[in-house]
Amino acid sequence: MRVLKFGGTSLANAGCFMTVADIALQSAAREQIALVLSAPAKVTNLLVALVDAAAAGGEAREEFEAVRKIIDPLVAELAERYPQYDRQRVERNIAATLELVEQRARGAALLRQCPEKVAAFIESRGESFSIAIMAELLSALGRQIRILDPVRLMLAEGGVMESQVNIEVSRERYLRMGIDAQAIVLMSGFVGGDAHGDLVLLGRNGSDYSAACLAAAALLASC
């Protein structure tokens, strides 16, 4: 399996998502591929700012609105371009995630501090937006999709905000997932799961690391 990683600049707007989808379709015609995606450009920085604002006791309204101004037009344009694109499903997914972010941010504001596990969850939501948007786009283009949950796949060891992946255990987990050879695999970058199954971060620029870890796990699994 070939692993392709796309960073935030490559996912900055609807046109970028369409370009990535075209690359994915062309590559998948030759071999099985996986896409590891970052958050759309600027979104992670906004989520980090949101965490900081909440920890200072603020409502982080500006940060929430700025995230929506990036994501909402992107989804709307893809839905306009592709008749099969299920805009409502994507918007429900994103709205549910933002509601969880808002709940956690309110709690942090009340405490005037943000626990690391809460910060890790919030700061990694941009990647989940990219996965939801891309999964629907590839489905609208007629492709079978398999989404891998990196929290279940990648065993990460270390601190909540910066961990390292245990490749051997992750390989064993990958083997048990039974991935259909016809599917395009999608996985969020930046995150893994600790020994308790809780979400942890792989550090900033962790999406590159995620892609390398997925490629290593898949390669070892094929040996």
pLDDT 10s digits, 110-155: 999 999 999 999 999 999 999 999 999 999 999 999 999 999 999 9
Q: Are 220 and 173 in contact (CB under 8 A)?
A: no
pLDDT of residue 216 exceeding 60, the answer is: yes
pLDDT 10s digits, 42-97: 999 999 999 999 999 999 999 999 999 999 999 999 999 999 999 999 999 999 99
CA distances from residue 220 to 112, 172, 180 in whole angstroms, order as listed: 45, 9, 17
Kindly state the average pLDDT of the residues 153-172.
Answer: 96
pTM for this prediction: 0.96
Calpha distance 62→113 (Å, rounded): 19
Kindly state the average pLDDT of the residues 158-170.
Answer: 96
Q: Which two tokens stand for residue 120?
A: 């890790």
Provide the pLDDT for residue 206. 85
Calpha distance 153→174 (Å, rounded): 6
Kindly state the average pLDDT of the residues 184-204.
Answer: 95
pLDDT of residue 223 exceeding 80, the answer is: no
Q: Which two tokens stand for residue 112?
A: 């005037």
Tokens 């490559």 locate to: 10
Provide the pLDDT for residue 222. 63
Provide the pLDDT for residue 58. 94
